[in-house]
Structure 1
Amino acid sequence: MLYIVIPVFNRKDFTRACLDSLRQQTTTAFRVVVVDDGSTDGTGQMLCQDFPEVLLEEGDGNLFWTAGVNLGIRRALAEGATQVMTLNNDVLTAPDFVAQMQAVAAQHPTAVLGALELDVSTGQPVYGGETLDWRTNTRRDLLETLPPEQRRGLHPVTYLPGRGLLIPRRVLETIGLFDEKRLPHYLADFDYTSVARRHGFPVYCNYDARLSTYPEESGQEITRRQRSLRGYYQHLFGIRGGGNLRNFTHFSLKNCPRPYLPYFLLNGYARRLVGYFLH
Structure 2
Amino acid sequence: MLFIVIPVFNRWAFTEACLHSLRQQTHADFRVIVVDDGSTDGTGQRLRHDFPEVEVVDGTGQLFWTAGVNAGIRQALRQGADRILTLNNDVVAAPDFVARMLYWAQRLPTALLGPLELDAHTQEPVYGGEVFSWLTHRRQDLLQTLAPEQRQGLHPVTYLPGRGLLIPVAVFAAIGLFDEKRLPHYLADFDFTSMARRHGFPVYVNYDAHLLTYPEESGQEQTRRHRSLRGYYQHLFGIRGGGNLRNFTHFALKNCPTPLVPLFLLNGYARRLTGYFLH
TM-score range relative to shorter protein: over 0.9
Once residues 153 and 163 of structure 2 are traced to their aligned partners in structure 1, the CA distance between those partners, rounded to angstroms, is 18
How do 1:32-51 and structure 2 match up within 5 A?
32-51=32-51
Match of 1:207 in 2: 207
CA positional deviation for 1:81:
0.3
Distance 1:217 1:163 in 2: 13
Q: Deviations over 1:30-82 (max 9, x none)?
A: 10000000000000011000000001100111000000000000000011100
Displacement after TM superposition at 1:259 (Å): 1.2
Matched, 1:263 2:263: yes
Matches within 5 A, 1:21-36: 21-36=21-36
Structure 1 residue 26: deviation in Å? 0.1
Report the Cα distance in structure 2 between the residues aligned to 1:20 and 1:218, rounded to whole angstroms. Answer: 21
Secondary structure at 1:181 match in 2? coil
Contact 1:87 1:163 in 2 (8 A): yes
What is the TM-score when the length of structure 1 is the normalising length? 1.00
Q: Quote how far apart the aligned CAs of 1:136 are.
A: 1.0
Counterpart residue identity of residue 51, structure 2? F
- Unpaired runs of 5+ in structure 2? none
Equivalence for 2:55: 55
Counterpart check, 1:225 vs 2:225: yes
Secondary structure at 2:113 match in 1 = strand
Per-residue CA deviations over 1:202-229 (Å, capped at 9, x if unaligned) read: 0000000100000001000000001000
Aligned to 1:170: 170
Q: Distance in 1 between matches of 2:163 and 2:153?
A: 18
Question: Per the alignment, in what secondary structure is the counterpart of residue 180 of structure 1?
Answer: coil
User: What aligned pairs does 1:92-131 form with structure 2 within 5 A after superposition?
Assistant: 92-131=92-131
Give 1:179's aligned residue: 179
Aligned residues between the structures: 279
Write out aligned runs for 1:53-92 (5 A): 53-92=53-92
Partner of 2:76, secondary structure, is helix
Check the 8 A contact 1:235/1:276 in 2, yes or no: yes
AA aligned to 1:144 is Q
Kept in 2, the 8 Å contact 1:3–1:76? The answer is yes
Please report the TM-score for the alignment, with normalisation by the length of structure 2. 1.00
Rounded to whole Å, the distance in 2 between the matches of 1:38 and 1:163 is 20
- 2-side partners of 1:262 and 1:179: how far apart? 22
Moved over 6 A (4+): none
Say whether the 8 Å CA contact 1:136–1:263 is kept in structure 2: no
Matched residue type, 2:105: A
**What is the CA distance between 1:29 and its match in structure 2?**
1.0
Distance 2:202 2:212 in 1: 24
Measure how far apart 1:106 and its partner are: 0.2
Q: Distance in 1 between matches of 2:212 and 2:261?
A: 35
* 1:187 and 1:247 in contact (8 A); partners too: yes
CA distance in 2 between counterparts of 1:271 and 1:174 reads 33
Deviation at 1:185, TM superposition (A): 0.1
> Taking every aligned residue pair, what percent have the same amino acid on both sides?
75
1:248 matched to 2:271? The reply is no
- State the secondary structure of the residue aligned to 1:170: helix
Give unpaired runs (5+ residues) of structure 1. Answer: none
TM-superposed deviation, 1:239 = 0.1
SS in 2 for 1:40: coil
Q: Any idea what the Cα deviations from partners look like across 1:91-148, whole Å, max 9, x if unmatched?
A: 0000000000001000000000000000000000000000111111111010011111
Q: Cα RMSD over matched residues?
A: 0.4
> Residues 115 and 207 of structure 1 are in contact (CA less than 8 Å); yes or no, is this contact kept in structure 2?
yes
Deviation at 1:172, TM superposition (A): 1.0
User: Does 1:153 pair with 2:150?
Assistant: no
Distance 2:41 2:266 in 1: 42
